[in-house]
Amino acid sequence: MDELVPGGNLPLPEGAVTVRVPGPFDVCALITGEGGKVRGDADFVFYNQPSAPGARLSGDTLIVDPRRLRAGAARITVAVTPARPGTPLGRLPAPVLHVSGAGGRPLARFAPPRPRQETVLLLAEIYRRGDGWKLRALGQGYADGLAGLARDFGVDVVDDTPTAAPPTASGAAPGTHRTTTRAHAAAPPARRPPTQGTRPATVHTTPAPRTPRAAPSAAADDFLALVNSARSRAGSPPVTLDARLGEAARLHASAMAAAGRLGVEGADGVSVFQRLTATGYTYLTVGEHLVSGPRDAAELVAYCLRAEQPRRILHDPAFRHVGVSHATKGRSGDTYWTALWARELTPDGLARTAAEVVDLTNRERARAGLPPLAVDPLLARAAQAYSTDMAVRAFYSHTSPEGTQPWDRAAAAGSTRRSIGENIACGQRSAAEVVEGWMNSPGHRANILKPGFTHIGTGFAGGGPAGTYWTQLFGA
């Protein structure tokens, strides 16, 4: 059995091959011709459409018989997404691809580098070479979600049911992206309901109160002393307690305790970020720890310092304020903690963030031999207004609730540019993270590197279900 590395190739025997990716993942496949595009929606094999000529999906296993593929098929791209929608792959066990031939004979194994914030991972492609077929290991992270992946391969995916922002266990929120120019931007596909973990019941001889109990302020003081000590050792400036963050943390910890589960969004449909902005705190960057189990502030901080992602948030030098609270679920006695970290939004801070997005975008264009984009104040005004609108009204789409498109919004801001393109993203916590995500997504990358674009405007807003909303408007 071969151990493949990214870019490694493997000649395949005649007949069907089996591709399996065990774990908390959804497997999907796209069947394309030589040009890399599907011929129709039937070429997208995933959990809502588990079969196509020559390809059949069952659970975590995909069976491909190249002899039975539709006419003109030259490539099958195999990808995985988290079974729980929106969860970054970096929070799950690393996916491993197992390839076998007739009779279950092992052919190859591929363990790609561990992804981080990506929500899709292209694992491999089965492609025609002469009269035979080969498998190539990929391991390419993709930031645009399942719908974006399908769309960039030419599938028009339509949403039948709205999806809520998915909860996360702790750390940064997942990031998703979409892109459009003057073309229809399809919505994400309808998803099956996310599975919820269960835990055994605990029997108490003395009934506990039924309502969640808010944490005393002493816990916040203990937490502050411990985290500032840890930040000092990491070379980060101290943070201070902010009553607004503390109130949002208290409300969210109580909501999680009442529901008996961790989540960025409570059972009331309100995200932790919406609770924060409702207090009047507007932020430039935000982080959160949502944790159950620690009995006191010392155990919470110890947990946050053990794992990479929570530790990165605790040490992040960008944060200036923190708020923390916990609540206990009555009958189970489980303790739910919320710690919120933030830096307040200022006009100068927003201007610096926008300038950093433009600078990083122009660096990518320079690498491709393209001239830089100039900032257009009218495009910037439209982009900022749209990011704010998405955060305030809690929607995420290239089409506004009123039906306006990117070019409509640019024109409304006074722009007379003939060609308009738009990238949007949500959930990313920095300019570097959002530009990296866009560059990892073919559709967004195409907008950034489009030779015909000459100008750009950038917008950012915090709040809403996802926490952050980013917009790039391109013009020519």
Which H or E element spans position 341? strand 335-344
Q: What is the token pair recorded at 365?
A: 């264009």
Side chain identity, residue 78: V
Q: Structure pTM?
A: 0.59
Order of strands across the sheet that contains 51-52: 2-4, 106-110, 97-100, 17-20, 61-64, 55-58, 51-52
Question: Where are the strands (E) in 7-129, listed by range?
Answer: 9-11, 17-20, 25-32, 44-45, 51-52, 55-58, 61-64, 75-82, 97-100, 106-110, 120-129
CA pair distance 243, 350, nearest whole angstrom? 23
CA pair distance 416, 396, nearest whole angstrom? 25
User: Would you give per-residue pLDDT tens digits along the chain (476 residues)?
Assistant: 678 877 778 889 888 999 999 888 889 898 988 777 788 778 888 877 888 899 998 888 999 999 899 888 999 999 988 887 667 787 888 889 999 988 788 898 888 877 777 788 888 999 988 888 999 888 877 665 666 666 667 665 443 333 333 333 333 333 444 443 322 222 233 333 322 222 222 222 222 333 344 444 678 999 999 999 999 999 999 999 999 999 999 999 999 998 888 888 888 889 999 999 999 999 999 999 999 889 899 999 999 998 888 899 999 999 999 999 999 887 777 899 999 999 999 999 999 999 999 999 999 999 999 999 999 999 999 999 999 999 999 888 888 889 889 999 999 999 999 899 999 998 888 999 999 989 988 888 999 999 999 999 999 999 998 899 999 999 99
By CB neighbour count within 10 A (0-12 exposed, 13-18 middle, 19+ buried), where does 372 fall? middle
Taking the alpha carbons at both ends of the chain, their separation in whole angstroms is 53
Which H or E element spans position 233? helix 217-233
